[in-house]
Amino acid sequence: MYKELTEYQDPSTKELLTQELMKKYKVVICGPNTLSAYLQSLHMGFQSLKVQKGATEIYKHLKTISTRFAKHFDNIISLRKKLEEAMTVVDKFGTDARSITRTLENIKDPEQIEKAIKTENVARLENHPKQLKN
């Protein structure tokens, strides 16, 4: 067929015949050089299709990783809030403990009060409540 096509002198006839073969019979007429170029273009098309499939798969994985990182950072923020709440409670315990300690320091030992009354050192006992502990 190629030989017959090359023997036509009129370019419009060649073009019409080529188009009819391509449309009607799905045949591509080509010589040795054109065949080589055509096969190379097909090869490149298939290679780019493989690359596109790989890129699509990589994109899906990256999207999944991105979603998982977003959830991970949300969990970190939630954990931080809970830790801050726990630290607030711990600080409150410390404040309460200091308050209780101060209250206990202000309570006088009943035995010391009785001794002070007997020895008439009541005024000294009221002025120096912390000395009684020692």
Q: Is 57 helix (H, G, I), strand (E, B) or coil?
A: helix
What residue ranges do the domains of the chain occupy? 31-127
Tokens standing for 35? 């065949």
Nearest one of 1, 3, 40 to 21, comparing CA atoms: 1
- At 46, give phi and psi (nearest 5°): -70, -40
d(CA 38, CA 34): 6
* pTM for the full predicted model: 0.42
d(CA 98, CA 119): 33
For each of the chain's 134 residues, which pLDDT tens digit applies?
666 666 767 777 777 888 888 888 888 877 788 889 989 999 999 999 999 999 999 999 999 999 999 999 999 999 999 999 999 999 998 888 888 887 777 776 667 666 666 666 545 545 555 444 44
